[in-house]
Amino acid sequence: MSRSVSSAARTAMYAQQTEEVFVLLLQIDTGGEPIRVALDSENLDSKITVDGVDTHSSAVTFVGGFFGIELPEEAGENISNVRISIDNVDRVIVAAIRQATEPPEVRLWVVLRSSPDLVEAGPYYLVLENAT
């Protein structure tokens, strides 16, 4: 599957060394206030612009932190599972997921730290089926 990325992202990918940082943005919608985490050491504000359309009318903050993600191998049309783990989970996150009346929706984007509004990959849509 081909994908177009910005010239800044392409330059960073092909460079032997770069100051660019690719950041994964994760949003979990539980029906209340969304949980937003950036796979980064710093908080990141973003409008999340996909194909020229802003996902948010003003920038929202993704809290810097660590989360791990295990993606499945691409295998035809089968529905696969993705495993996401968030370190040092705040009690607010645990409470929001436990109180959700519907399975929480999860979205994932890839941006550059230098241009956090421009989505380089995504959005990827997931449904939270299990939390431990």
For residues 5-22, give the mean pLDDT: 88
What pTM was computed for the model?
0.82
Bridge partners (DSSP) of residue 84 are: 69
Per-residue pLDDT tens over the stretch 96-119: 888 888 888 989 999 999 999 999
| Residue 88 pLDDT class (50, 70, 90 cuts) | low
User: Does position 18 have pLDDT exceeding 70, yes or no?
Assistant: yes
pLDDT at position 124 is 87
Average pLDDT across the chain, whole number: 83
- Give the full edge-to-edge strand order of the sheet including 44-46: 44-46, 60-65, 35-39, 22-29, 105-112, 115-127, 49-50, 53-54
User: Does position 73 have pLDDT exceeding 80, yes or no?
Assistant: no
